[in-house]
Structure 1
Amino acid sequence: MTSVHLQSFAAAQPPLIPSAPQLGLPWALAEAQAFHLRGVGRLARAERTAAKQRAQQDAPAYLAAETTRLQDIREQMVTEAEQWWHALLSNDEATVCEAVNTAFSDNPAAGCAVGVDGSVLSVVMRQQDLDSMPTQTAGLTPSGRPTLKNLTKRDRILWWLTAMGSNIVATLKEGFATASGIEAIDLAVITRLPDTQRLGYVVYGRWTRHAIESAPWREPEDALRFLDIGQDTACSVTTTASGNLSSTLKPLDTTRVAGLQALLDGAQDNPDSGEPSLADLDITLGANTPPDVRVAIGDPYRIRPFAEWKQQTLSPPQPAPVVAPATSAVLIPGQTLVLPEEAWRGLHVSFSFAGADADLTLFLVGDDGRVSGDEDFVFYNQPSGAAGGARLLGKQQEGPHTVERATVHLCALPEHVRRVAVAINMDVEAGLTCGSLTHAALDLDCTSGAAWTFRPPADPAIRAMVIAELYRHSADGHPVWKLRAIGQGWADGLDGLARAYGVNVE
């Protein structure tokens, strides 16, 4: 509560737009063959030969179209990112407020940017109510035994004041770090006053970037200096003539600062009314889950399936072949099977779960069980590998379950890739293990209608797990791909999992 001001906040940087995924002809050919062979019987040799010839003709055009389209998307995103960065540096009000409020979304005391005037940002902060503070603190009896001792009014006020100062300084530091063109922040703090149980201002003032960045913030007690370095500041907690802190909170006079009273007059003070409420600003902003940088909101580099591209090139569009729904075969740990040829051209992978969050990860490894380079490590920050041969498609909520999908084109993988490990990992910082997952299942299917399901164990001792493995093999002198259900893992999460496959974890 009294040390958040000791945090450091990295200065905002221009957005870095990732490169468009590299796609290769083997991937395009696998997609085209899967489409043209759909619904063609295995014994219909003439039809299969004709279908493969059509795929050979279509694949280069499909590859060229997708490569051009993805590059156009990247150029558009680069242009938009440059425009956004310029707007942020120019203190465009909407851009600055949106960026700052996104940064504030995980703060313990909610801050909300409400306007920009030149290079001055206005922020309202919702501080924890004094009545919600504990009335006791840990202590020791004369004999040295632990006990609880009652806090005096002034001790409680000091604790609350220090916590408020800590949150104010942290809010100011983060605001300046996020908005590089802002040189001062007008900040006002609201809380529910003990006597009236209504909202009121307890602090307001202006703090400059220079004052915040030049002040040393080393100890929790440094938070109490927030008033000393501000301009035109006022605080409900005052110091008496004897040097003690006041023991009551009174609302500040809002007539000195234009707009403060209007903000309170227009605020809904009843949190149960169903209307937006400043009384619950700490709930509606501060308690929100911060944005997860690992998960994109929509995939800007979504690759059009071959069927979608083909339909757009036909005039008039042709109906897609009807394929019978798949019936999944349930696998047990250690079970292996030979994948049909249709699975080589496109294996659809989905991991569904509930109870906690997890991420799907693919490792493309050689005979030594290690990746040849970081490009063979397919995860949330690098969702495509092997020139499109393996790709994560992102997460989405489907009813009570979260589902993350991927596609693997086995016939498009380079020769040095001998195995594909399909793994999951938990968020180590959340302190949860695979035992927290419920209804976890890995489903795989292909265009022939063949499908397989494996339910990995909910092991509370591990935080990362290889659920299944796809690997090259030989059967009757012919190369094949096989699937093995595994369900074993690592206690230290993604770091241990990645190191086991030769990924250099920094």
Structure 2
Amino acid sequence: MTSVHLQSFPAAHPPEIPAVPALGLPWALAEAQTFHLRGLGRLARVERAAAKQHAQQDASVYLAAESARLEAVRRRLSGEAQEWWQALVSNDEATVCEAVNTAFSDNPAAGCAVGMDGSVLSVVMRQQDLDSLPTQTAGLTPNGRPALKNLTKRDRLLWWLTTMGSNLVATLKEGFATAPGVTAIDLAVLTRLPNTQRLGFVAYGRWTRQAVESTPWLTAEDALRFLDIGQDVSCSVTATASGNLSNTIKPLDTTRVPGLQDLLDHAQDEPDAGEPSLADLDISLGANTPPDGATSVVNPYRIRSFAEWRQETSAAPPPMPTVPPVTPAALIPGQTVALPEEAWHGLDIAFRFAGADADLTLFLTGEDGRVAVDEDFVFYHQPSAADGAVRLLGKQPEGPHTVERATVHLSALPEQVRRVAIAINMDVDTGLTCGSLTHSALHMGCMTGTCWTFQPPADSNIQAMVVAELYRHIIDRRPAWKLRAVGQGWADGLDGLARAHGVDVE
């Protein structure tokens, strides 16, 4: 509570737009074959040969079109990012306030940027109430036994003041780090006053970038230096003539600073009041988690399937043959099945779950089960590998469940890739394990409708698991791909999972 100001905040820098995912002709050919062979039986040899010829003709055109489209998307994003950065460094009010409020959204003391005046940013901070602090602290008896001792009014007030100073300095540091064009911050602190239980301002002032960044912040006690390095600083807690702290908190005079009284008059600090409130400030400022949990992030580099491309570029594309639903074959741990040739051209993967959050992860490995390069590790920060042959397609809610999808074109994988591990991992920071997942199941299917499903074990001792594995095999002297249900994992989550597959974890 009294050391938040010791944190360091990375300085903002121009946005870096990632490169478009690499796409290759083997991937495009596999996509085209999936489309053209759909609905054709294995004995329709003439039709299948014609379909493969059409796929050969279309693949290079499809590849060129998708590559050009994605490059155009990247150019547009780069232009938008440059405009945003210029607005931020030029102190455009809306841009600065949005960026700073997003940065503030996870702060222990809710802060809100409310406006700009030239290069000066105005911020309001909601400090923890004094009455919320404990009245006792840990201590020792004369015999050295643990005990609780009562805090004096002044000790409790000093604790609260140090906490306020710590949060105030951290807010200043993060505001300056986020908005490089801001030279000073006018900051006012709100809290609920102990005597009246009404909101009131208990500190305000102006702090310059130079003053904050040149002050060494080394200890918890340094938090109180906010009183000395600011301009026109006023604080409800004052020192008496003897050097002791006052033992009461009184509201500050708001008439000295234009706009403060109006802000206080319209402040709503009660949750569940039917309108946004200071009590809900952290939630309303947050840009990381949508309030209803239903909004998903759109991938700007989403690759169109061959069917989508044909539909968008052809005046009257041929209708897609319908595939009758097939009951999935349920697998048990250790069971293997040989995949039909149709699955080589396109294997759709879907991991369905509820109860907690999990991420789908894939590893493209050699016979030894280890990746040749880190680029063969497919996860949320690197959703594509092997020139598009393996891709994560995103996560979205479907009714009471969440589904994350991926696609694998086995026929487009380089020869050195001998195995594809399909894994899941929990967020280690939450402390949750795979035992927290409910209704979890991995579904895999191909264009003929043939599909398989596997329910991984709900193991409360692990945080990451290889659910299934695809691997090359020889059947009747001919190359083949097989699927194995696994369901085995690692207690240390994604780090252990990645290391086991040869990925360097920093």
TM-score (structure 2 length as normaliser): 0.96
Which residues of 2 match residues 96-107 of structure 1 at below 5 A? 96-107=96-107
1:153 lines up with 2:144 in the alignment: no
Residue 200 of structure 1 aligns with which residue?
A: 200
Residue 277 of structure 2 aligns with which residue?
A: 277
Distance 2:379 2:49 in 1: 37
**Code of the aligned partner of 1:75:** R
SS in 1 for 2:422: strand
**Code of the aligned partner of 1:55:** A
Contact 1:110–1:286 (CA under 8 A) maintained in structure 2: no
Residue 115 of structure 2 aligns with which residue?
A: 115
Contact 2:296–2:396 (CA under 8 A) maintained in structure 1: no
Cα separation, partners in 2 of 1:269 and 1:356, compared to 1, 3 Å: closer
Cα separation, partners in 2 of 1:218 and 1:250, compared to 1, 3 Å: same
Cα separation, partners in 2 of 1:113 and 1:315, compared to 1, 3 Å: same
Contact 2:186–2:205 (CA under 8 A) maintained in structure 1: yes
Count residues with an aligned counterpart.
503
Residue 435 of structure 2 aligns with which residue?
A: 435
Which residues of 2 match residues 180-329 of structure 1 at below 5 A? 180-281=180-281, 284-285=284-285, 297-329=297-329
Residue 402 of structure 1 aligns with which residue?
A: 402
Which residues of 2 match residues 277-426 of structure 1 at below 5 A? 277-281=277-281, 284-285=284-285, 297-426=297-426
SS in 2 for 1:342: helix
Contact 1:108–1:287 (CA under 8 A) maintained in structure 2: no
SS in 2 for 1:494: helix
The alpha carbon displacement at 1:317 in A equals: 4.1
The alpha carbon displacement at 1:269 in A equals: 4.4
Q: How far does the alpha carbon of each residue in 1:274-328 deviate from its partner, in whole angstroms, 9 at most, with x for none?
A: 122235435644898599xxx9821000001111111122223443221112321
Query: Please, which moves more after superposition, 177-186 or 356-365?
Result: 356-365
- Listed as ranges, the gaps of 5+ residues in structure 2 are none
SS in 2 for 1:273: coil
The alpha carbon displacement at 1:338 in A equals: 0.4
Residue 65 of structure 1 aligns with which residue?
A: 65
Residue 133 of structure 2 aligns with which residue?
A: 133
Query: Please, which moves more after superposition, 453-462 or 16-25?
Result: 453-462
Which residues of 2 match residues 453-464 of structure 1 at below 5 A? 453-464=453-464
- Listed as ranges, the gaps of 5+ residues in structure 1 are none
Contact 2:106–2:282 (CA under 8 A) maintained in structure 1: no
SS in 1 for 2:52: helix
Residue 33 of structure 1 aligns with which residue?
A: 33
Distance 1:410 1:431 in 2: 35
Query: Please, which moves more after superposition, 402-411 or 149-158?
Result: 149-158
Contact 1:348–1:444 (CA under 8 A) maintained in structure 2: yes
Contact 1:192–1:279 (CA under 8 A) maintained in structure 2: no
Cα separation, partners in 2 of 1:264 and 1:358, compared to 1, 3 Å: same
1:77 lines up with 2:77 in the alignment: yes
Contact 2:331–2:454 (CA under 8 A) maintained in structure 1: yes
Cα separation, partners in 2 of 1:63 and 1:286, compared to 1, 3 Å: closer
Cα separation, partners in 2 of 1:312 and 1:284, compared to 1, 3 Å: closer
Contact 1:337–1:483 (CA under 8 A) maintained in structure 2: yes
Contact 1:349–1:445 (CA under 8 A) maintained in structure 2: yes
The alpha carbon displacement at 1:145 in A equals: 2.0
- Percent sequence identity is 76
Distance 2:363 2:214 in 1: 47
Contact 2:102–2:285 (CA under 8 A) maintained in structure 1: no
**Code of the aligned partner of 2:276:** P
Q: How far does the alpha carbon of each residue in 1:50-71 deviate from its partner, in whole angstroms, 9 at most, with x for none?
A: 1111111111111111000001
SS in 2 for 1:18: coil
SS in 1 for 2:364: strand
Cα separation, partners in 2 of 1:283 and 1:340, compared to 1, 3 Å: closer
Contact 1:127–1:282 (CA under 8 A) maintained in structure 2: no
**Code of the aligned partner of 1:316:** A
SS in 1 for 2:392: strand
The alpha carbon displacement at 1:132 in A equals: 1.1
Distance 1:279 1:380 in 2: 33
Distance 2:303 2:369 in 1: 29
Which residues of 2 match residues 172-187 of structure 1 at below 5 A? 172-187=172-187
Distance 1:91 1:308 in 2: 42
SS in 1 for 2:217: coil
SS in 2 for 1:62: helix
Cα separation, partners in 2 of 1:48 and 1:308, compared to 1, 3 Å: same
Residue 449 of structure 1 aligns with which residue?
A: 449
**Code of the aligned partner of 1:49:** A
SS in 1 for 2:469: strand
The alpha carbon displacement at 1:399 in A equals: 2.4
Cα separation, partners in 2 of 1:175 and 1:290, compared to 1, 3 Å: farther
Contact 1:199–1:279 (CA under 8 A) maintained in structure 2: no
SS in 2 for 1:442: strand
Distance 1:280 1:145 in 2: 41
The alpha carbon displacement at 1:483 in A equals: 0.2
Residue 8 of structure 1 aligns with which residue?
A: 8
**Code of the aligned partner of 1:315:** A
**Code of the aligned partner of 1:459:** D
